[in-house]
Structure 1
Amino acid sequence: MPRFSRPRLWVAALSLGAATVFSACSSTGLPPNNPSASPSLNETRSAGPSRWELVRWTRADGTQRELPHGDNGEPIVFNFSDGIDSGQGTVSGTSGCNRFTGGYGKTDSGIRFDRLAGTRMACPGARMETETALLKAMQTPFTTVGTQPSAGSTGRQVVWKTADGELLQFVEREGVGRRGDKVDPATGSTGGTEKIVYIDSQRVECTGVGKMQCYRWRDAADKPWQFWYGPIEGLDFEPGVAYKLRVKEYQVPNPPADASAIRWQVLEIVERKRGG
């Protein structure tokens, strides 16, 4: 069962001039089809969920950080509930070693992340170093320095710049919500079954690997509550509000030792009731 906490929030809100910043992209070795300079995300679709994979991380000195992939671990993937141009929404995915969930929102010059919580599994040194660097970077705002619509087999792309001058290049992938329901590149899960679940208005203390806060859920209003130990992807939970959700339930093959074998992704908030 996953152990979640609320440390190291990832934040973003962004500043530098697009032309100057994107010239830095060219000098740090990003590929020729890298996004052209643009301070906004006007070329992206704003509605509907989307999945993005971090494919290149360029340090401020121009060197490349090795990213987890294949035998080296799961890729770094962000699942956005309402697209990266949305005013606000929820985000979940993998951060190099662990899984996370939280909130995000559009700013005047990019995107911010907040209220993030994640599992606390230990991984080999290189993956932990990458995750630690990512979590640290996302404590401060990101600036959008380029976007590019999809071209051929390459998905849409966005480049964000961290406060330390590092460039993170993300490519959109299939596999979430209305933009595809294929293999989930973050977890390897496929298919999925829709179901209705009721979520209690307060999270309660429970014990997984250690003390943590759990949701209480049931699949019918007249049934007893059960604990849900993991995140609920796509739910921006507000304490004091009870929810009736339509979710898609996935079986996760070979989950980490401290992670659930089931994951939920919100398809629709059917009902919100304060003090339920």
Structure 2
Amino acid sequence: METSRMSLSRYSAMLTASLLATACASTPSQAPLSGRWQADDSKVQLQLKDGKLSASAGCNRLFGPASVEGGRLVVGNLAGTMMMCAPEEMAAEDALKKLLASRPQVEQKDGRLLLKGDGRTLALNAMPALDGGKTRFIYVQGKTAPCVGVAPMQCLQVREDKNAPWQHHYGQIEGFTPEAGLNYRLRIKEFDVANPPADAPSRRWVLDMVVESEVVKP
């Protein structure tokens, strides 16, 4: 009789443990954070996809593993390009590295991403998705030039070959704001625009990555 009670007790404990394990396994996990964001008051860009992070403060591209755990962004060891840029860009890059290393709190709301850590809050806005676009590499001048579409306007100066003459681009590059005194090489995504207005381009360009920037000699 005593043996039967012990067996029943042991069976009950095993059943309870099994039910708890099943319940935990069936609990939906938090959806991984995924998307592209850009700060509205700086050059900081950040992308999260498939457990990988890519980030930049306007100079080098940083990349490495990342996940959201307990409402915090946990970033692994970051690798990156090794360009030398303007002192203010290098300072912004160091600040971004410190923020990412601090396991910042993550809040996402209304298309905005907030990272809170290292004594500050970085606010970023959602950028357009890049799925399905054609990848192109282009050079862009930091200054625009007068051009005429339907009316006189200012056009970006672009080219795909570094030795080719500059050409007018009559649209914008979404997510990119040029700075006078710098030239850029960009990786962009190109999308066809169905039935564009008469004064608008038939293709839409979206910034994917600033590959490099260089100071233009006077």
Higher strand share: 2
Looking at CA atoms only, which structure, 1 or 2, has the larger radius of gyration?
2
* Bin of the TM-score, shorter chain as denominator length: 0.3 to 0.5
Higher helix share: 2
